[in-house]
A and B are shown apart, each in its own frame.
Chain A
Amino acid sequence: MKAEVKGSEILYVERFRILHGDYEHGGDAAAAIKAVLKELGIHPDLIRRLSIANFEAEMNVIMYAEEGEMEFQVLADAVRVVLTDRGQGIPDIELAMTPGYSTATPAMRERGFGAGLGLPNIKKNVDLFEIESTVGVGTTLRYSIFLSERQRAGEA
Chain B
Amino acid sequence: MHLRELTNLLDCEVVWGHDLLEGKEVKACFAADLMSDVLAFSEPGALLITGLASLQSVHAADVADLTGILYVGGKRPAEQVLELARQRKIPLLTTRQSMFDVCATLRDAGLKAGCKE
**A interface residues with partner B (beta carbon < 8 Å):** 23-24, 26-27, 30-31, 34, 44-45, 48, 51-52, 54-56, 59, 110-118, 120-121, 124
Contacts and interface: CB of A to CB of B under 8 A. Distances in A.
Interface stretch (B17-25, B55-63, B92-100, B102-110): B55-63
Nearest to A102: B36
B63 A27 contact: yes
B52 interface: yes
Q: Looking at chain B, what size class is its interface with the partner chain?
A: 20 to 34
B11 interface: no
A27 B62 CA distance: 9
A51 B33 CA distance: 20
A141 to B, nearest CB: 16
14 contacts: A27-B58, A27-B59, A27-B62, A30-B62, A31-B62, A45-B44, A48-B64, A52-B63, A54-B63, A111-B52, A115-B37, A117-B36, A117-B37, A117-B39
B44 A121 contact: no
Nearest to B36: A115
A26 B65 contact: no
